[in-house]
């Protein structure tokens, strides 16, 4: 009896020892992801939740009427932008902008007339109802530069560009237009970019 009990005890101890050698696997529980509200960027001046802006291109830029232009088109688009500024900009800079624009028209009249004729001929060479296409493109161009949300920055840019145009030679105008048309366009594309940033995520996961 004692021998049998001893054998059972040894066997039980062996089983217990075998069990003790196998560590228990405990599943690791990841901490919960906490959604922390992040304040949205401040709505850009002049924007609204339903405002429609162009969709950014793959390179991060925005489609505008000022892309892929010929030399003559750049000159004429510059004149159009400054024309809008002379008509739309108000406040202390109004007198300066109007005077600068009129001075540019007077000093560069032959170059501007040639640019307009060349630009129109580019549309005419496409055949068909070229005049309607040309007029439509001019309407889109004026509407682009007339967007009120970016007007303050646009007017400031126009004032700077007009100041720099003083004393400009006819030969230098095409290069001047190519350099400064993006300056006049930037307030609008900056506004688009600000709207896209404002529409970005307002809630993101944060580890505790």
Q: What is the pLDDT of residues 97-134, one digit of tens each?
A: 999 999 999 999 999 999 999 999 999 999 999 999 99
pLDDT of residue 203: 41
User: Dihedrals φ, ψ of 163, to 5°?
Assistant: -65, -40
- Does any domain span residue 82? yes
pLDDT of residue 32: 77
Give percent of the chain above pLDDT 70.
79
Tokens found for residue 164: 């720099």
CA atoms of 69 and 75, how far apart (whole Å): 10
- Give mean pLDDT, residues 6-15: 47
Note whether 111 and 177 are within 8 A (CB).
Answer: no
- Does any domain span residue 51? no
- Does any domain span residue 176? yes
Range of weakest confidence among 2-11, 47-56, 69-78, 174-183:
2-11
Could you list the residue range(s) of the whole structural domain that residue 106 is in? 71-198
pLDDT grade, residue 89 (50/70/90)?
very high
- Does any domain span residue 34? no
- Does any domain span residue 48? no
Task: Please give the mean pLDDT across all residues of the chain.
Answer: 87
- Give mean pLDDT, residues 19-26: 60
- Give mean pLDDT, residues 52-76: 97
- Does any domain span residue 111? yes
CA neighbours closer than 13 Å in the CB half-sphere of residue 58: 0
- Does any domain span residue 63? no
Give ∠ CA 134-122-66 in degrees, rounded to 5: 65
Q: Which tops the pLDDT comparison, 195 or 20?
A: 195
Q: What's the total number of domains in the chain?
A: 1
pLDDT grade, residue 93 (50/70/90)?
very high
């Amino acid at each position: 009896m004692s021998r049998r009990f001893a054998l059972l005890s040894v066997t039980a101890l062996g089983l217990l020892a075998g069990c003790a050698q196998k560590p228990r696997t405990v599943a690791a529980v990841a901490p919960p992801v906490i959604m922390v509200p992040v304040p949205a960027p401040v709505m850009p001046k002049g924007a609204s939740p339903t405002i429609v802006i162009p969709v950014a291109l793959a390179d991060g830029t925005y489609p505008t009427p000022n892309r892929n232009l010929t030399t003559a088109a750049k000159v004429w688009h510059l004149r159009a932008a400054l024309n809008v500024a002379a008509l739309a900009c108000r406040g202390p800079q109004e007198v300066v902008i109007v005077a600068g624009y009129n001075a540019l028209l007077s000093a560069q009249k032959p170059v501007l007339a040639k640019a307009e004729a060349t630009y129109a001929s580019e549309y005419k060479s496409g055949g068909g109802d070229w005049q309607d296409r040309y007029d439509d493109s001019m309407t889109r161009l004026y509407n682009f530069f007339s967007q009120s949300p970016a007007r303050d920055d646009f007017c400031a840019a126009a004032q700077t560009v007009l100041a720099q145009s003083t004393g400009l030679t006819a030969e230098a105008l095409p290069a001047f237009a190519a350099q400064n048309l993006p300056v006049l366009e930037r307030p609008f594309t900056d506004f688009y970019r600000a709207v896209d940033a404002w529409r970005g995520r307002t809630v993101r996961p944060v580890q505790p």
